[in-house]
Chain A
Amino acid sequence: MEKVDVLIVGSGHSGGMAAKVLTGKGIHCLMLNAGPIPDYAKETETVAAYQLPYHGFNMPGRLPNLYQATEFNSNQWVDQQEVPYTFDAEQPYNWVRVRLFGGRSLFWARQSFRFSDFEFRARDIDGTGANWPIRLADLAPYYDQVESIFRVRGRKEGLPQYPDGNFVEDNSPWTGSLQRFNAAAAKAGMAVCKMRTAGGINGLASSINLLLPDAFATGKLEAVPNAVVREITVDKNTGLADGANFLDRHSSREMTVKARVVVLAAGTLESTRLLLNSGLANSSGVLGHHLMDNPYRAGMIASVPEAREGKGRATPGLMGGTAFAPRFRNLGTPATRGKDFVGGYGLIIGSGGDLDPRNFPLYGAALQKKMVGYAGSSFSTEMYGSTLSRYENHVSIDKETVDAWGIPALRISAKYDNNEFNMARDAVDTSAAIAEAAGFEVLTKNYETDPPGRSIHEAGTCRMGDDPKTSVLNKWNQSHDIKNLWVVDAGAFVSTGWQNPTLTLTALSMRASEYLAEQMRQGNV
């Protein structure tokens, strides 16, 4: 049987970057992806809500734990009857998955923030969790390159907690409402900065248009869709990984591939699930543990009085624009210490637009009159939180539940705790107070975050570290136990930060893949 150089499981940003780097160095790669290649032209159409069976309401019972799911997009997410997962009803977890070729990189929100050393040194800063085995300086050259590939737009701010990068410069001015908010924020010790967003190309910032084309152009990448990997196989004599058993998604026909190196990039929990089902790489006992993500959806909504009816209305000079307040709590000084939480959060700040009717305890004609009067005057904030790294937040194999191909499902046991709740309270109260200081009318506040997982930023469970007793991977994303096995997605994360993970996992995958290529060149794997 022919042996491939590198087997890559997964086609999102981490797998796509591995394929690009490795094939660029002349290494033959086989990429397996569990789902089909979508054809936008064939599979999408513009419709009105009333043309759908439930008029835009979700099909009852379908994807109830995916708040991102709508009647329009339900078919883009993993079918949860095909690939179930379980959790204790007391600890709901929203696992949001895409198995289409390209994975969640097809649909991500593009926000691209570097981790800072406040996140890489989480244990030193927070007094809990663990430090990464790397620092910003180790990853900076890769951040530079990924920001260029992603075409990240942003502005240099000079803040250590919001490391500057390789940006398409955003020098747009602030509208009046944001100037007022930012001035009030500065008095409260909060810096307000420009957003950082990946522009991509032609409206898409996915592995399939930013990373994989270069890999395919080398002629050294073969990609197979509809290939569901059941387990990674190991050579009994050497103890090294030697390939995988997988099935055709439709026919369930069993197949095998042999590989010199195995790279897992199936997304945090699917990579970990695969390792758990394969019974590999867990001499530390921490595989599956330290599951983290970003608590989302706590925030506040206000109105700018000067933008309302009879006061000059919502002009383009006054309203509009998005801003971001990066972590301003727990920056290692007494002045920034959080009252009752450690770690940090960011705030996304939005100016402009109409007020959602839910902001007003009215209905009928009275509500309509109010909404007309408040049109265009909306000003809102929302928390981008972080979670602590807790051993007890973990995943395991649910031996009583299997997916449509008989592969045991994942059971997820995770919950937020006081640190996250207190952080949310601080985020809402602080931004509401600043909004009031800026002369805005605060209408609605929400202190409750959505369930864990909702952010689609699950990270950890396969963390890197210098000590094989407390980590699964070394600082190059290489398994401590099996030296030709790599895990290059956000499973490797040691802390979660408040930052969206995509930029960091892609940079890590690039760094890991260059190291892997060099190890192969030297004949070490």
Chain B
Amino acid sequence: MSPATVADLVATSDPHFFTHQQFATLRQLCVLMMPALDGYPSAVEAGVPEFLDFLVGATPAGRQQSYVAALAGSAPARQVVTGSTDRRHMYVWGLERLESEARRRFAKSFAALTADQADALLAPALTPWMTDHPPRDSFQRFVNVMHLDIRTATMNSAAWSAAAVAAGERAPGIGMYWSPIDPRIERYR
């Protein structure tokens, strides 16, 4: 079973969107947030750092931003949701923030922190949330959404699915896919 998607093809190369520093921070987050457990692969084994680099890099800026900016916390806006979360801005800001906090508190790069030191930075930001409403605070938002992204990307991966099959369990992330239905020619111009 060797599915080849665009994501898999980029997985073996250098980060495309993040800087090397940001990518190192992201990789370390994957190590901490989703280690291998009970026969299932870790986020790193599932290629999640590379996949998130691909996903975030594919997020468009510009017009998308105005819709998101309106939701990002201006005073009258009360609805704040993940569906339109601007991953590009959030990840870059959040990864940079973690790095600068690590250097400030521990005089080390985030990727070089011990698990306890990293936990001191991450744990206070974790907070229960539900439906489409992650926390409003920028750093909490980044940590909580990033955590969900890492988990989702890991559990949707081919490696995870293979482990599920091997364990005799239901492979997650299977669904009914709709192809483009009777598309207009213009869509492909």
A36 to B148, CA, bound (A): 36
Kindly state whether residue B3 has any CB partner on chain A within 8 Å.
yes
Partner of B133, one of A43, A297, A357: A297
Kindly state whether residue B171 has any CB partner on chain A within 8 Å.
yes
Contact A57 B55 (CB under 8 A): yes
Interface of A is mostly: loop
Contact B175 A46 (CB under 8 A): yes
A72 to B178, CA, bound (A): 6
Partner of B129, one of A75, A249, A358, A363: A358
Kindly state whether residue B67 has any CB partner on chain A within 8 Å.
yes
Decide: A75 near B181, CB < 8 A? Known: A416-B78, A449-B79: yes
**Which of B18-26, B80-88, B100-108 has 4 or more CB atoms under 8 Å from chain A?**
B80-88
Decide: A448 near B177, CB < 8 A? Known: A82-B184, A416-B78: no
A382 to B132, CA, bound (A): 13
Kindly state whether residue A38 has any CB partner on chain B within 8 Å.
yes
Residue of A54, A82, A297, A444 with most chain B CB atoms under a 10 A cut-off: A54
Partner of A49, one of B6, B60, B156, B184: B156
Interface residues of A in 250-308 (CB under 8 A from B): 250, 297, 299, 301
Residue of A59, A362, A448 with most chain B CB atoms under a 10 A cut-off: A448
Decide: A76 near B178, CB < 8 A? Known: A53-B5, A55-B5: yes
Kindly state whether residue A74 has any CB partner on chain B within 8 Å.
yes
Q: Find chain A residues with CB under 8 A from B32 CB.
A: 363-364
A241 to chain B: closest CB distance in Å? 29
Kindly state whether residue B59 has any CB partner on chain A within 8 Å.
yes
Chain A residue at minimum C-beta to C-beta distance from B60: A61
Digit string of B39-58 for contact with A (CB within 8 Å is 1, else 0)? 00000000000010001001
Q: Find chain A residues with CB under 8 A from B156 CB.
A: 48-50, 55-56
Kindly state whether residue A70 has any CB partner on chain B within 8 Å.
yes
Kindly state whether residue A368 has any CB partner on chain B within 8 Å.
yes
Contact B70 A55 (CB under 8 A): no
Contact B130 A46 (CB under 8 A): no
Residue of A46, A52, A71, A404 with most chain B CB atoms under a 10 A cut-off: A52
Kindly state whether residue B121 has any CB partner on chain A within 8 Å.
no
Contact A60 B58 (CB under 8 A): yes
Contact A361 B181 (CB under 8 A): no
B10 to chain A: closest CB distance in Å? 11
Contact A90 B77 (CB under 8 A): yes
A291 to B34, CA, bound (A): 45
Interface residues of B in 148-169 (CB under 8 A from A): 148-149, 151-153, 156-158, 161
Q: Find chain B residues with CB under 8 A from A65 CB.
A: 67, 83-84
Kindly state whether residue B138 has any CB partner on chain A within 8 Å.
no
A302 to chain B: closest CB distance in Å? 11
Q: Find chain B residues with CB under 8 A from A449 CB.
A: 78-79
A45 to B177, CA, bound (A): 5
Contact B126 A362 (CB under 8 A): yes
Contact A38 B181 (CB under 8 A): yes
A301 to B87, CA, bound (A): 26
A404 to B133, CA, bound (A): 34
Interface residues on B, range: 35 or more
Give the number of residues in A that approach B within 8 Å (Cβ atoms).
69
Interface residues of A in 401-428 (CB under 8 A from B): 404, 415-416, 421
Kindly state whether residue A466 has any CB partner on chain B within 8 Å.
no
Q: Find chain B residues with CB under 8 A from A172 CB.
A: none
Contact B153 A363 (CB under 8 A): no
Chain B residue at minimum C-beta to C-beta distance from A74: B178
Q: Find chain A residues with CB under 8 A from B129 CB.
A: 358, 444, 446
Partner of B33, one of A55, A250, A299, A363: A363
Q: Find chain A residues with CB under 8 A from B92 CB.
A: none
Contact B181 A58 (CB under 8 A): no
Partner of A72, one of B59, B123, B176: B176
A267 to B115, CA, bound (A): 54
A282 to B79, CA, bound (A): 33
A66 to B83, CA, bound (A): 7
Kindly state whether residue B117 has any CB partner on chain A within 8 Å.
no
Contact A90 B74 (CB under 8 A): yes
Decide: A44 near B178, CB < 8 A? Known: A50-B173, A448-B80, A448-B133: yes
Contact A92 B175 (CB under 8 A): no
Q: Find chain B residues with CB under 8 A from A226 CB.
A: 182
Partner of B64, one of A64, A299, A421: A64
Q: Find chain B residues with CB under 8 A from A451 CB.
A: 71, 79, 81
Kindly state whether residue A170 has any CB partner on chain B within 8 Å.
no
Q: Find chain B residues with CB under 8 A from A75 CB.
A: 178-181
Q: Find chain B residues with CB under 8 A from A72 CB.
A: 175-178
Q: List 27 A-B contacts (CB under 8 A).
A: A46-B175, A47-B177, A48-B171, A49-B173, A50-B5, A55-B51, A57-B152, A61-B64, A65-B67, A66-B83, A73-B177, A76-B178, A89-B69, A90-B77, A226-B182, A249-B184, A250-B184, A299-B131, A358-B128, A359-B130, A363-B33, A363-B126, A416-B79, A444-B128, A446-B131, A446-B133, A450-B81
**Other 13 A-B pairs with CB < 8 A, given A50-B158, A92-B67, A358-B128:** A46-B175, A54-B7, A60-B87, A64-B68, A65-B83, A76-B178, A82-B187, A297-B131, A357-B148, A358-B148, A444-B128, A444-B129, A446-B129
